[in-house]
Amino acid sequence: MSFVSVDHLQKSYAGTAVFSDINCDIKKGEFVTLLGPSGCGKSTLLRCIAGLTAVDGGKILLDGQDIVPLSPQKRGIGMVFQSYALFPNMTVEQNIAFGLRMQKVNADDSRTRIAEVLKLVELNDFAARYPHQLSGGQCQRVALARSLVTRPRLLLLDEPLSALDARIRKHLREQIRQIQRELGLTTIFVTHDQEEALTMSDRIFLMNQGRIVQSGDAETLYTAPIDVFAAGFIGNYNLLDADSASRLLQRPINSRLAIRPEAIELSLTGDLDGEVRSHSLLGNVIRYRIEARGVELVVDVLNRSAADLHPNGQRVALAIDPSALCEVA
């Protein structure tokens, strides 16, 4: 049975629907990600689940109970925002204690629980600091601790890493996932970053314009995009119309075709001739633009040695892994 079940959920602002029929199920202990472009409705969905935004129709079941009629405080849900939302005039410890005061937890239990979560987010030594004395990553760990200390049934994270620099972001990703596993905490994470979604999630719900267009684990979303939007959003696919695809592969193809840039191999001999139009170095990967049979393709090659570097204008042969061809609607 699912632990969270969103059923025909609807939300409009001034007659404009953000979404009109959201359905999804999440298992207990699962880490799921809502992934999609800005404005597709991720935050609104999260806020509806938290009770911060009223819904227009539909149900949200949490552990079998419809929580739509409940106030946010009665839902047992923790939420962390991109902007941390810490109280600037309170210390780390006071910020974390705030939620417990609301829950009327006694002083002794509070102290124990605060010490526990401070340890969990590795901020034991920072209890007496104020938010302005912390880095962005530390502030976000306080925000996380403040949610965890209330022992929520469900944790909602709305782009918690988007304001942080890349190195901190990667570290915090791992830390969040580790804590979530340790606590077995059912979590909905929101991001517009495909890499974040692919590396962190048990399951991804890909959203576009108020709809969940595809759901599945990272491998499914990456290797079997359901439509052009999914292929365009995840994995830098080459998207060819049927004519170009037929010309490239020299057989009739009736739908659009998605080919991942790393599924095309470059060599100096072979059947499919191409010419390097441009290339850029992305660190360990070289990204080529290659023209073959009048079709321009993006090809990613691991940068292993000087032999992997082909100058613009060089003739190359391409080999496309047939199992990586993906027909999309």
Ligand X SMILES: Nc1ncnc2c1ncn2[C@@H]1O[C@H](COP(=O)(O)OP(=O)(O)O)[C@@H](O)[C@H]1O
CA distance 154 to 12: 25
Q: Token match 């819904």: residue?
A: 55
Does the footprint of ligand X cover residue 57 (CB under 6 A)?
no
- Which of 6, 31, 33, 43: binder of ligand X (CB under 6 A)? 43
Residues 91-110, interacting with ligand X (CB under 6 A)? none
- Which of 8, 13, 89, 321: binder of ligand X (CB under 6 A)? 13
Residue 120: CA count within 13 A, CB half-sphere: 25
Nearest to 13 by CA among 210, 212, 213: 210
- Residues 149/121, Cβ–Cβ less than 8 Å: no
Tokens representing 271 are 């059947």
Which residues of the chain form beta strands (DSSP E)?
A: 4-13, 16-26, 31-35, 57-62, 65-66, 77-81, 154-158, 186-191, 203-208, 211-216, 238-240, 256-259, 264-267, 272-281, 285-292, 295-302, 315-320, 325-328
- Min dist CB 14 to ligand X, Å, is 7
- Which of 43, 110, 180, 208: binder of Mg ion (CB under 5 A)? 43
First-to-last alpha carbon distance for the chain, in angstroms, is 32
Give the nearer residue to ligand X in terms of CB position, either 82 or 303: 82
Give the nearer residue to ligand X in terms of CB position, either 41 or 274: 41
Does the footprint of Mg ion cover residue 33 (CB under 5 A)?
no
State which H helix or E strand residue 249 sits in: helix 242-249
Q: Which does 269 bind (CB under 5 to 8 A by kind): ligand X, Mg ion, none?
A: none
Does the footprint of ligand X cover residue 188 (CB under 6 A)?
no
Helix or strand or coil: residue 165?
Answer: coil
User: What number of chain residues touch Mg ion (CB under 5 A)?
Assistant: 1
- Which of 1, 38, 108, 280: binder of ligand X (CB under 6 A)? 38
- Min dist CB 167 to Mg ion, Å, is 23
CA distance 322 to 290: 18
Stretch of 39-47, 58-66, 212-220, 283-291 lying at the interface with ligand X (CB under 6 A): 39-47
- Min dist CB 27 to ligand X, Å, is 23
Q: Which does 41 bind (CB under 5 to 8 A by kind): Mg ion, ligand X, none?
A: ligand X
Tokens representing 7 are 């059923």
CA distances from 278 to 27, 28, 265 (A): 46, 48, 16
Give the nearer residue to ligand X in terms of CB position, either 209 or 223: 209
Nearest to 175 by CA among 123, 233, 114: 123
Q: Which does 274 bind (CB under 5 to 8 A by kind): ligand X, Mg ion, none?
A: none
Does the footprint of ligand X cover residue 18 (CB under 6 A)?
yes
Residue 33: CA count within 13 A, CB half-sphere: 27
Give the nearer residue to ligand X in terms of CB position, either 126 or 229: 229
Give the nearer residue to ligand X in terms of CB position, either 18 or 198: 18
Does the footprint of ligand X cover residue 75 (CB under 6 A)?
no
Residues 203-222, interacting with ligand X (CB under 6 A)? none
Give the nearer residue to ligand X in terms of CB position, either 36 or 78: 36
- Which of 33, 35, 41, 99: binder of ligand X (CB under 6 A)? 41
For 255, which DSSP code? S
User: What number of chain residues touch ligand X (CB under 6 A)?
Assistant: 10
> What are the residues binding ligand X (CB under 6 A)?
13, 18, 36, 38-44
> What are the residues binding Mg ion (CB under 5 A)?
43
